[in-house]
Structure 1
């Protein structure tokens, strides 16, 4: 589990949303478990990114999978 001051980055390509996380100010990025997630549009990937950010801010544990967050 990664926690603390984090930066979350979501990219969208070929109908997939790729989510990576890093400790803010660090150089290493970590692919989130479950990434990439099928995602039909860049707009949907932005909404998905926001759901991931909100989950991290709320302290949700890994039990909330990326697939579950995408369904929100």
Structure 2
């Protein structure tokens, strides 16, 4: 689920930006120009390894996020 266009499916690119203790998660259709913010972001109070966080976000997107980031497990 994204703020801008709702549900997106298909071949997606995921970017995870860690700014301070917040993680900003965006997706785009691979090869497109437009980026969409995953609903519920940014995740607050995030600390630790950015690679681990990004891997968790990619898994979450692959599994579908009908409610956005609410309830996403980072481990």
What TM-score results when the alignment is normalised by the length of structure 1?
A: 0.77
1:66 corresponds in structure 2 to 69
2:22 corresponds in structure 1 to 16
What TM-score results when the alignment is normalised by the length of structure 2?
A: 0.74
Count residues with an aligned counterpart.
68
Q: 5+ unaligned residues in a row in structure 2: which ranges?
A: 1-6
In 1, distance between residues paired with 2:74 and 2:61?
A: 16
Whose helix fraction is larger, Structure 1's or Structure 2's? 1
Q: Structure 1: which 4+ aligned runs deviate by more than 3 Å?
A: none
Q: Which of 42, 49, 53 in structure 2 is aligned with 1:48?
A: 53
Secondary structure at 1:68's aligned position in 2? coil
